[in-house]
Structure 1
Amino acid sequence: MKYVIITNNPLVRDKYPQNCEFVVGTIVNVLTRCRDLIHKGYVLMSHPFAGNVKPDCSPFKSVLLKENKGPVDFNSVMIIEECLNRVKEIIEKEGINYIDDEKVLNDFAYLDKELIKEAIETFRE
C-alpha cells in the first residue's frame, strides 16, 4: 500500500524524498493539504498531534497518510478537521511563539523527523 508524508520539515523531506510531499508554509498549510488528500480518499496513519508538541511552539509538522481505494474515511476527516480548527484557534488566541534560536528549531525539526520515522516503522509492520 502506498503512503505519503505531508511535511514542512526539510529534515523529513531529505530523509524520505520518494514518499514525501513538501509543503512550503506553516502547520496550517500542512494540515490543510492533509485535509484535501483525506477528502480525496487518503487515510490518516499518524495523528497530526503525535508527540504532544504544541503547534504554537514548533513550526514543523509531518503527517503520514496512506492511499485508500475505498470510500472517504470519516474518522480521518473528523480528526484532521478537529486538529486544523484547534491549530487555527491556538494561533488566533495565543499567536505564534516560535523561538528564534537555530539550535532549538533544529531540535524541533529532529523531534518531528523521529516521530514520523516511528509512524512509518509502525505502518510497515
Structure 2
Amino acid sequence: MTKDYSKRYNDLSNLMGEMGAKIPNIMESFSKMHTASCEDGALSAKTKELIALGIAITIRCEGCIVCHVHDAINAGASTEEIMETIGVAILMGGGPSVVYGCEAMEALDQFVVLEN
C-alpha cells in the first residue's frame, strides 16, 4: 500500500494555495490559527504537532496525517516520538487507527528518507 506522501503533501499545499486565492479571508484566518496554535508556549511546537498527528489518525484524515507527520519532523520530532504518538492514537481509536497509523508510519518513513 505504498503512496507518495511527499507528492501528496506538495499537492495539498498547492491546492490550499489555490483555495486561498478563491476564499482568501477564510484561508488566511485558518493559516493564522494554525500558526498561533502551534507556536511554542507551555507546550512546545513539536508536542503540539504530535498531538495534531494523534488526532488526525483517530479521525482518519489522510491529508491531515501527511501534513502533521511532515510538520512534526520539521518541529524536531524523532521517529520514536512519532511512533509513540501512533501508539497512543491506536489506544484511543482502536482498529481504524491501526490502519491510519500505518499510513502515518509509511509517511514518516518516506519523509525521513527524503531528509537524509
TM-score, length basis structure 1: 0.27
Between Structure 1 and Structure 2, the one with more strand by share is 1
More helix by share: 2
Larger RCO, structures 1/2 (Cα 8 Å, 6+ apart):
1
> TM-score when scaled to structure 2?
0.28
